Structure 1
Amino acid sequence: MAARLPSWAWVSGLTVAATAAVVALAVQADHGPRPTAPAAHARPTASASATPSTAPTPSGPPALPEASGVGRRIVYSVQAHRVWLVDATGQAARTFTVWAGTVDPKPGRYSITARTAATVGSDGVKVEHIVYFTAVSGVNIGFSNALDGSSPPPANGARTGGIRLHKEDGAALWSFGDYGTKVSVVE
């Protein structure tokens, strides 16, 4: 009869073999490609410019303007015709282009003061998801989307303050922007 090995010898042998396999895999992994963090999550440094930047990031849409405030907010760039929905951590959760009315809000900090589920806009188009945040010379300024998803028709000299959104973006802004939600308007 052959001599039997004690159980501690078997366990020790299996442990050594498993350790050797893990070390071999670790060495192979160390020579492989390394993941990199996406550029979209990079934070500006202290030396970053204080002027708003809407230059495209290497991986996507324009970056959130740096001088647009802090915390959870809606950011609207008058010149870029773009909106960012910014979460509580300061990251843009969503961004999209818009069609501006003929009356622009002044750069500054505002809050949503009124919400209307649906109405007819000053351009005669049925709109929904209207959130108002200021008025300029008697013209109410707010975000909305056309019920049929269309872009606004030419104003033909009319003074309009509606910032028109695509239908899906209007629904997203409506969900995001409750009464009191901060709105930051930048150039």
Structure 2
Amino acid sequence: MAVRSSTLVAGLTAAAVATVGFLAYQASANVPPGLAASEAATPAAARKAPRDRAHPAALPGNSGTGRRVVYSLDDDRVWLVGMAGNVERTFHVTPGRVDPPPGRYAVTSRSGRVTGTDGTPVEHVVRFATVDDVVIGFSAAVKSFVPAPDATVRTGGIRQTRPDGDAMWDFATIGQRVVVIR
């Protein structure tokens, strides 16, 4: 009985996939103790990025490369970084009640003007993450005076001034990288 070449190729492919899967399982089962929890295994964005204490507004190290938005959870600061790594603008923000985990994201949607989760009219909304059904994004309150947010409402709006919101809106289009650091 003759074996068709397509049957032979399918069989060899299945055997190769099974072998690679088995070897990956063996490798993961034999990781030396402590290696998985070491700093070397931790993504760079999850670690505290080095700061220049003499220049607190300077872009932190380990915040990525290329054109991106960098958002520091610990410093409540944003940097808009150009292609060559130059800081085009940096500013303080007021975070919502829910923070995104450190990591790399992309702008997923934008809205010119909406009402925020807290009932505040906002503009230039740039969304990039969702945490437990709370949408996370940058926005600017339309009115300059905004009452203190209700502590019982889980909000993901990261508020910025209107001029900073204008700059974010121009910079962070759909797909733009957002790097969240500690």
TM-score by structure 2 length? 0.71
Secondary structure of the 2:163 match is helix
2:52 equivalent to 1:52: no
2:86 equivalent to 1:91: yes
**Conserved 8 A contact 2:63-2:179:** yes
Greater RCO between the two (CA within 8 Å, min separation 6)? Answer: 2
> What residue is the counterpart of 1:135 in the other structure?
130
> What residue is the counterpart of 2:156 in the other structure?
161
Name the CA distance, whole Å, in 1 between partners of 2:89 and 2:144.
19
> What residue is the counterpart of 1:119 in the other structure?
114
Secondary structure of the 1:159 match is coil
Instruction: For residues 107-135 of structure 1, give each alpha carbon's deviation from its aligned partner in whole angstroms, at most 9, with x where no partner exists.
Output: 00000000000000001100000000010
Secondary structure of the 2:100 match is coil
Name the CA distance, whole Å, in 1 between partners of 2:95 and 2:121.
17
Name the CA distance, whole Å, in 2 between partners of 1:87 and 1:56.
23
For residues 141-156 of structure 1, the aligned pairs below 5 Å read: 141-151=136-146, 153-156=148-151
Name the CA distance, whole Å, in 1 between partners of 2:149 and 2:180.
23
Name the CA distance, whole Å, in 2 between partners of 1:163 and 1:152.
15
Name the CA distance, whole Å, in 1 between partners of 2:112 and 2:147.
18
Of structures 1 and 2, the larger Rg is shown by: 1
**Cα offset, 1:55, TM superposition:** 3.8
2:73 equivalent to 1:78: yes
1:172 is aligned, of 167, 170, 182, to 167
Letter in 2 for 1:138: D
Secondary structure of the 1:88 match is coil
**Cα offset, 1:54, TM superposition:** 3.5
Name the CA distance, whole Å, in 2 between partners of 1:121 and 1:108.
24
**Cα offset, 1:52, TM superposition:** 1.3
For residues 175-186 of structure 1, the aligned pairs below 5 Å read: 175-186=170-181
**Cα offset, 1:143, TM superposition:** 0.1
Q: Percent identity?
A: 46
**Conserved 8 A contact 1:76-1:183:** yes
Name the CA distance, whole Å, in 2 between partners of 1:152 and 1:69.
35
**Cα offset, 1:151, TM superposition:** 4.8
Name the CA distance, whole Å, in 1 between partners of 2:127 and 2:89.
19
> What residue is the counterpart of 2:60 in the other structure?
65
Secondary structure of the 2:135 match is strand
